[in-house]
């Protein structure tokens, strides 16, 4: 091991030791990582069960098809034909719920609205279903979606993307890729050298893809529009809605009542600059603007262009049992994709974990009037002047 590599490993181990052995928060961090590990094991057990059942069903399907090649199938029941037709409809059209199906004695009647470009593929699929004797067309064909309610929305044909090109893999596919990745890792370790590193990298990518079930662009944050991660939390606070609203809306005081919000600075009408504690103690900052507000009831915000963590969110305050039900919704795009989100979650620094912590502190502060002992800033502490 060269001196640079040894220094790098030592630096990493030292940072990890400092993070986990910190006398103030180390115990909580270790407990959080342990909880995440237990949760991961449980999720793995559930995923393994799903993958095993999916694989068994697929093997049984292949066996049945092979067995049927040597013998002519008896006339299937109308229920079986109906199920087969519905499956084919889902492959052929973007809005399968709009197409209604009736089967009597193998004769299929199709009704409902459909787009012109999907008409021929649908008819071909239905006529090709085993057990279908004839197809009666009563479809209402539309050139465009227009104002037809059942054709609204983008929709998506299941048959458009298949196999490894799908954004979401089936359990059996994930299991197969995970097994192939393990084989690649073993081959790379045995071979060594440049080719061994290539095998190891491929195994790492395959493992991450199958475990997270996220497409590689989403996984690495490579898409221009990465799918956002949604966070939602609801909490009851035993206080008047007006008072609760004023605390949440007065963002400048949040560092005195929470741990993770380090600083909030007003920068114009409905515009504030935020600094929040991120992974490994690093500060993450952005500008946010209030875009909609119902005084005393709700408000919504979004981050300004250029923010490292692009996000939007909203908070609603509803009276309930003499107190206030606070509903918080946040959608954000992690800068390093889903892998960045997973790492932050492992370290307990993802938005959901921090939101849970700070909402509990706000609840305690509002209900008791006592400021949290671990708040980011004391009321007497002055903001540092800008350099």
pLDDT tens sequence across 196-248: 888 888 888 888 777 777 766 666 655 555 567 788 889 999 999 999 999 99
- Count helices and strands (H / E) in the chain: 11, 10
Q: What is the DSSP string of 322-364?
A: TEEEEEEEEEEE-TTHHHHHHHHHHTT-SHHHHHHHHHHHHHH
Q: Which residues of the chain have pLDDT under 70?
A: 1-2, 4-5, 7, 9, 11-12, 15-16, 18-20, 22, 24-26, 28-29, 32, 36, 61, 64-65, 67-74, 153-168, 215-227, 278-282, 334-350, 376, 378-387
Distance CA 383, CA 264 (A): 10
pTM for this predicted structure: 0.48
Cα(326)–Cα(198) distance, integer angstroms: 50
Question: What distances in angstroms separate CA 327 from CA 234, 246, 292, 350, 352, one per listed residue?
Answer: 4, 15, 16, 18, 13
Asked whether 175 and 55 are in contact (CB, 8 A), the reply is yes
Q: Are 238 and 323 in contact (CB under 8 A)?
A: yes
Maximum Cα–Cα distance across the chain: 86
Long-range contacts of 12-18 (CB under 8 A, 24+ apart): 15/280
């Amino acid at each position: 091991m060269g001196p640079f590599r040894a220094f790098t490993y030592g630096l990493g181990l030292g940072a990890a030791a400092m993070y986990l052995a910190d006398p103030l928060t180390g115990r909580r961090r270790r407990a959080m990582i342990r909880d995440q590990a237990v949760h991961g094991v449980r999720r793995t057990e559930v995923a393994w069960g799903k993958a095993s059942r999916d694989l068994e069903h697929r093997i049984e399907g292949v066996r049945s098809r092979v067995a049927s090649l040597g013998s002519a199938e008896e006339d299937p029941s109308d229920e079986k034909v109906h199920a087969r037709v519905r499956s084919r409809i889902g492959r052929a059209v973007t809005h399968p719920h709009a197409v209604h199906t009736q089967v009597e004695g193998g004769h299929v009647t199709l009704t409902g609205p459909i787009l012109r470009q999907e008409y021929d593929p649908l008819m071909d699929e239905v006529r090709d279903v085993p057990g279908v004797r004839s197809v009666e067309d009563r479809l209402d064909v539309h050139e465009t979606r227009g104002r037809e309610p059942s054709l609204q929305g983008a929709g998506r044909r299941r048959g458009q993307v298949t196999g490894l090109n799908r954004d979401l893999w089936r359990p059996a596919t994930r299991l197969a890729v995970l097994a192939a990745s393990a084989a690649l890792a073993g081959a790379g370790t045995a071979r060594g050298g440049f080719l061994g590193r290539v095998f190891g990298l491929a195994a790492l990518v395959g493992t991450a893809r199958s475990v997270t079930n996220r497409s590689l662009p989403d996984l690495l944050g490579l898409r221009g529009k990465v799918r956002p991660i949604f966070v939602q939390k609801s909490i009851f606070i035993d206080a008047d809605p007006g008072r609760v609203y004023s605390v949440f809306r007065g963002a400048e005081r949040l560092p005195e009542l929470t741990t993770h919000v380090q600083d909030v600075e007003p920068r114009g009408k409905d515009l504030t600059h935020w600094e929040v504690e991120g992974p490994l103690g690093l500060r993450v900052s952005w500008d946010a603007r209030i875009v909609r507000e119902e005084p005393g009831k709700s408000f919504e915000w979004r981050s300004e262009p250029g923010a490292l963590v692009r996000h939007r969110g909203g908070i609603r305050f509803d009276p309930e049992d003499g107190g206030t039900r606070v509903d918080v919704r946040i959608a954000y795009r992690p800068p390093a994709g889903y892998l960045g989100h997973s790492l932050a979650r492992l370290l307990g620094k993802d938005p959901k974990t921090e939101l849970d912590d700070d909402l509990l502190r706000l609840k305690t502060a509002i209900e008791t009037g006592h400021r949290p002992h671990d708040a980011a800033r004391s009321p007497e502490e002055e903001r540092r002047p800008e350099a």
